[in-house]
Amino acid sequence: MKILVCISHVPDTTSKINFTDGDTKFDTNGVQFVINPNDEFGLTRAMWFKEKQGASVDVANVGGSETEPTLRKALAIGADNAIRVNTEATDGFYVARQLAKVIQDGGYDLVIAGRESIDYNGGMVPGMISALTGANFVNTCIGLEVEGDTATVTREIDGGKETSTAKLPLIIGGQKGLVEESDLRIPNMRGIMMARKKPLTVVEPIEANQETKAVQFQKPAPKGEVTLVDPDNVDQLVTLLHTEAKVI
């Protein structure tokens, strides 16, 4: 089985976010970037297929050279090859077109993408890839087993879970549940050294329209001051909840 894991290069959730040029561009100064968490769950599941079933695992990313450390980390975790499409990842449809070309050229049986990235939270790329390649698609995937050319997939739905089967080739939008956080892997020294020798192929983008554009970013409103109430002063607490918080 040949697997491709789509990797997004995203800011660490602990990073302090700022914008420049009149709040139209993201300020990357001082920001630590990581593998998108939903993609990391998928990569860890792919490694299980590699170890248990002998699958090959490639990773792919759309981005500039600054994203290569993130790809190298994926290689250090255990992926066999990395592919970087040499263009800025902006519009979701544009990214999906680039990844669809990688998938079609690579002949992958299973494509694991995160259901969304934690920077733009668009949640659109996996479904668009499915439409562009004609492969089956399951979103919000929290369980995945493959036997022969058939996958058994569990996905999260409102109020519960749904289990179904699908034929390969298959694209999934994965999330926590494919593996648990305790299963995520930290690259060891041997993996880091081996990653330096693994192939990282840079390909040029295909012509594709960028259908959307971020016009301006806006930070959430700052949190208000905290009012401390003596635990014995229930009347004051009730008054504040009624007149200021307006929750009762």
Domain ranges of the chain: 2-219
Range with the poorest average pLDDT among 59-73, 86-100, 133-147, 212-226: 212-226
More confident call, 20 vs 213: 20
Structure tokens at 22: 């009149």
More confident call, 194 vs 57: 57
The yes-or-no verdict on residue 244 having pLDDT over 90 is: no
Range with the poorest average pLDDT among 74-83, 139-148, 189-198: 189-198
Which amino acid, 42? Answer: G
Using 50, 70 and 90 to split pLDDT, how confident is the model at 28?
confident
The yes-or-no verdict on residue 25 having pLDDT over 90 is: no
User: Mean per-residue pLDDT for 58-84?
Assistant: 96
Residue of 51, 2, 3, 6 lying closest to 174 (CA atoms): 6
Q: What is the CA radius of gyration of the chain?
A: 21
Residue of 134, 132, 55, 53 lying closest to 99 (CA atoms): 132
**pTM of the shown model:** 0.86
User: Mean per-residue pLDDT for 171-195?
Assistant: 92
- Strand blocks (E) in the chain: 2-6, 9-11, 19-20, 25-26, 33-35, 56-62, 81-85, 110-114, 136-147, 150-157, 160-167, 170-174, 200-203
Using 50, 70 and 90 to split pLDDT, how confident is the model at 210?
confident
Using 50, 70 and 90 to split pLDDT, how confident is the model at 14?
confident
User: Mean per-residue pLDDT for 137-148?
Assistant: 95
The Cα 149–Cα 2 span in angstroms is 11
Using 50, 70 and 90 to split pLDDT, how confident is the model at 121?
confident
Per-residue model confidence (pLDDT) at position 105 = 95
Range 2-219 has CATH code 3.40.50.620: yes
- Residue 198 contacts residue 58 (beta carbons within 8 Å): no
Per-residue model confidence (pLDDT) at position 214 = 84
User: Mean per-residue pLDDT for 50-75?
Assistant: 96
The yes-or-no verdict on residue 61 having pLDDT over 90 is: yes
The Cα 236–Cα 242 span in angstroms is 10
Structure tokens at 163: 């289990």
